[in-house]
Chains A and B, each alone.
Chain A
Amino acid sequence: MTTKTTRTDQLIEQVRDSRVWRSVFRSGSGNSTLHRALAIQQNVFLHLFSAKVRKRMVSFSATWYLGTLTLGTFLILVVTGILLMLYYHPSVPQAYADMKDLQFVVSSGLFLRNLHRWSAQLMVFLVFAHMFKVFYRGAYRTPREFNWVIGIVLLLITLLLSYTGYLLPWDQLAFWAITVGSNISSAVPIVGSKIHFLLLGGNQVNANALLRFYVLHCVVLPLTAIVFIAIHFWRIRKDGGLYVQQSEPRPASPVVSAPVAPLPAKEAK
């Protein structure tokens, strides 16, 4: 177990045994399996994931990492979005001027905005690709039905984020796109006009609509998304991790010995 320890290693061990480290990270030095499992389990951010995964669970061909990439683009969007919020005022004449400022004055402002916009497009694409991949893999079947529903909710949240974000530059493209979209919503029978009014905060796309969409885009929808992402990951873990064909439990009865197509998964525990 003990290999040749270098001076650096000794130093690292000393740091990990110190009081400060133990106060922050709880488990001290040591490389045992317990240590490694505790490092994951006692971390508020990481404990959502399982401490151990099978190697085949992270195989590329299973998922093409689409879900991970979706999460990655979401994180890019959050970071770039917060940076953009530093320069953006959600008021009617100011919003467009802020876009111009980002383009011409802010250092790498255009890059920041483009990164946000392209990540948004990419995220929508990845979400759909992820959905199709899950479908084609059959990873929606028992016990993963509810997770599929959560995924659909996440899809809707993604599309809503895209839609609300579209209005924020307040240019002609934004204005008319949202006008068309909100007019579609008013076509819903019985409650259509009320939905329209609720969506825009008024009868027209104006300052109220901009503010409303800004709050939705920056606060409400991201928080909702984070909650649902947490549920989504939690359910992945609780349903037995990523769905890979080989991870299917062998049927209990030894009657069938030849390899057959996997039956609908029973409780795989």
Chain B
Amino acid sequence: MQFIRKYLSSAWHTLFGDPVRAFGIVSLVLLLALAVTPTKEHFSEWHGYQRNYLSLIRDRGDAVSMRRRFEPGIHQIWMPALGVVDRCTTCHVGLNEASLADEHQQPFRKHPAIPHPVEGFGCVICHGGQGAATTVSEAHFSERDGEAPILPTRYIEAGCGQCHQNEMAGTPQLNLGRTMLTRYGCVRCHSITRPDGSKLMPTDHPPSLIHIADKTSREWIYSWLKDPQAYAATTTMPNYKLSDQDASDISAYLVSSSKPQPGDTAAVDVKTASAGKAGNPAAKPAANPADGASLYGQSYCSSCHAVQNAAGNVVGGNVGPELTRIGNKVKPEWLNAWLNNPRIYDVTTPMPHYRFTPQQIATLSDYLHSKSDADYGANVQLAAATPQQIARGRRLIIDGGCAACHEINGVQTPQNFAPDLSNIGSKPLAQIAFLPGMQHTVSTYIVSKIRQPRAFGGAVKMPQFALSNAQTDALTTALLAQTARSRTIPDTLRVAATADTNYQPAGHAGKLMTELACFSCHRINGRGGDMAPDLTYEGSSVQRQWLTDFLKNPNTLRPSLIRRMPRFNLSDSDNKELTDYMLAVYQTPTVDPDTAPSATNPAQVVEQGRQLFYSKFACQSCHIVDTKTDKGYIGPTLTHVGSRLTPAWTYAWLKDPQALRPGTTEPNQKMSDDDARAVTAFLMSLKGTAGIGAKQ
């Protein structure tokens, strides 16, 4: 100890004993201290990257101009209105240099072409991360409160989704995810609010279970609850991983609480019932089974309903339920009544009222009943349920949140059954309970939750969805777009969602359209499906006689399409009602019939139109006018277009198709007025030799 003291005091004396020497030593120390700062700057990370950049561009052809554009030091994109302070361009120096588009060495690659300029938006708005940082670990991976790591590339579309609530061509994953959120029942339990305050509304149609006992048996409900995907591979109902007892109790409650609905069952016609199904060996054999299949085809049931064929491919639409094993499910008497008039059982169904004859109903019913799987539900034996089990079933339904989707007697629709996901993209990492071994990011959490919800503990009620990786990624992308930043974006930058309207046509025609479920396939005035053409301006476009004939017997205009409009067996008065309504109401002010080219056209103009059609505009690449010479079948066939379309519409269409139907594939050929008039005259002369409705 003494030795140390002696040493220290002698050192002190040597250094600071003499004041001049002390001053010198202190000055030296001060200089060294002052040199620390610039040295640290020189060896900082970002400075290293900038030096690398300079050595990278040294040997390039345009090195001189690139050097001139380069500014050393910290670069910053500052937009106070957006709260953006992004220093990413300090290291990512070549972000806007065109010649670095193929550069492999990051961080010097040019930013890939995107619709927004980097200077106008910064980087962090789309990519996440900590913009203010100038070190890689802090900028990319900071997990502090209020910061989030960079969004992985596979979810980059979530960045777009913060401002854009609409569907865009360049974000297929985001669009799919948002569609899935509304279609797979997510928003029935989780409420998701857009930044403008509107809520995401569900677009699926989970059936009401109030009269379920009229439709199906308890055994079927049991098998369904145990594994929905075993019955229908494409169903959106998730698997609740119920035990046998749970499924038995729930099915018992549903059956016991079901109230019969008068008129939703019709007696089975013994004469045409098929042998074997009803266990009636004395019944006459059914009519030719092929009739059922052909009626099914003619009615175009597959436009909405899917069926899994022998090869395992699912063919058909997804508006209605999958019918692969419909014979296992529904009672024959229910099916008959349903095909007769679906709205008795379910007023809100999107299924149209087909006006089948009793013979047709019997044929179709037979055919559908043949669609069954002998193995499905074969070993299900349920003992009669006790009142305790029924009560337990009701409790399970309440705890499981079934009533969030399905209307069930005696159970109220729960509110806020699951956490609100409006801000899930900005969920603080400290508030997430990660499983061991999980990467600590919000995206990993969401993906794991969707894939294996029950892995997060027994208290989680979320069921197991059968989704592919692509679907899970799409959902994650859509959810990651729900961030706190999306709520603080200035209104000028926001793009609102194009929401469906709730347009309902008035009067008797309106009732007809509801009965025929036109909106399941057609879009009118912003409401409806996208399977069939938009009819908003149908009144301006078609001629009366054609429309009447078409509604009586829909034929195809586009030969290469699989899905077609079914035939509804409309009465003449119904037909007239609809035609009058459409022609009167569904007009566009931009097409004025009075300004159309004159009805009678000199043969010269028609011939000129023909020449233009074939040689200048080469419309035959997509349209068929003469079946002998033309083969293009991208657009509708025009053999009878003179009887179908109105001249005014045709002229307006040729001048600018996108104005009348946005997003159509018909190119705008910038036709002059004379050319358009000539081609219109030519088209209007095509009234066809045979009657309309000639099949291809």
Contacts and interface: CB of A to CB of B under 8 A. Distances in A.
A and B, direct touch (CB closer than 8 Å) = yes
Interface of A: 93, 96-97, 100-101, 103-105, 107-108, 111, 171-172
B41 interface: yes
A103 B87 CA distance: 13
B41 A104 contact: no
Contact of A97 (B38, B85, B135, B145): B85
B134 interface: yes
B145 A104 contact: no
Given A105-B134, A107-B41, A111-B36, 14 more contacts: A93-B83, A97-B132, A100-B130, A103-B133, A104-B74, A104-B133, A104-B134, A104-B135, A105-B74, A107-B38, A107-B40, A111-B40, A171-B144, A171-B146
B243 interface: no
Contacts of A100: 85, 130, 132-133
A171 B87 CA distance: 21
A104 B138 contact: yes
Contacts of A103: 133, 138
Interface string B23-41: 0000000000000111011
A172 B146 contact: yes
Contact of A108 (B40, B132, B133, B138): B40
Contacts of B133: 100, 103-104
A178 to B, nearest CB: 15
A108 B132 CA distance: 16
A97 to B, nearest CB: 6
Contact of B37 (A93, A105, A107, A172): A107
Contacts of A172: 145-146
Interface string B256-288: 000000000000000000000000000000000
B94 to A, nearest CB: 21
Contact of A101 (B83, B130, B132, B144): B132
Contacts of A108: 36-37, 40
A116 to B, nearest CB: 16
B85 A171 contact: no
A235 to B, nearest CB: 30
30 contacts: A93-B83, A97-B85, A97-B132, A100-B85, A100-B130, A100-B132, A100-B133, A101-B132, A103-B133, A103-B138, A104-B74, A104-B87, A104-B132, A104-B133, A104-B134, A104-B135, A104-B138, A105-B74, A105-B87, A107-B37, A107-B40, A107-B41, A108-B37, A111-B36, A111-B37, A111-B40, A171-B144, A171-B146, A172-B145, A172-B146
B80 to A, nearest CB: 10
A108 B39 CA distance: 10
B326 to A, nearest CB: 57
A97 B144 CA distance: 14
Nearest to A96: B146
A96 B142 CA distance: 15
Nearest to A99: B132
A145 to B, nearest CB: 34
10 closest A-B pairs by CB: A100-B132, A104-B134, A108-B37, A172-B145, A107-B37, A104-B133, A105-B74, A107-B41, A104-B132, A97-B85
Contacts of B74: 104-105
A96 B144 CA distance: 12
A171 B134 contact: no
Interface in B133-191: 133-135, 138, 144-146
Contacts of A111: 36-37, 40
A108 B36 CA distance: 9
A111 B74 CA distance: 18
Nearest to A8: B20
A73 B14 CA distance: 26
A181 to B, nearest CB: 19
A101 B89 CA distance: 16
Contacts of B38: 107
A107 B74 CA distance: 11
A56 B362 CA distance: 119
A114 to B, nearest CB: 13
B145 A171 contact: yes
B123 to A, nearest CB: 15
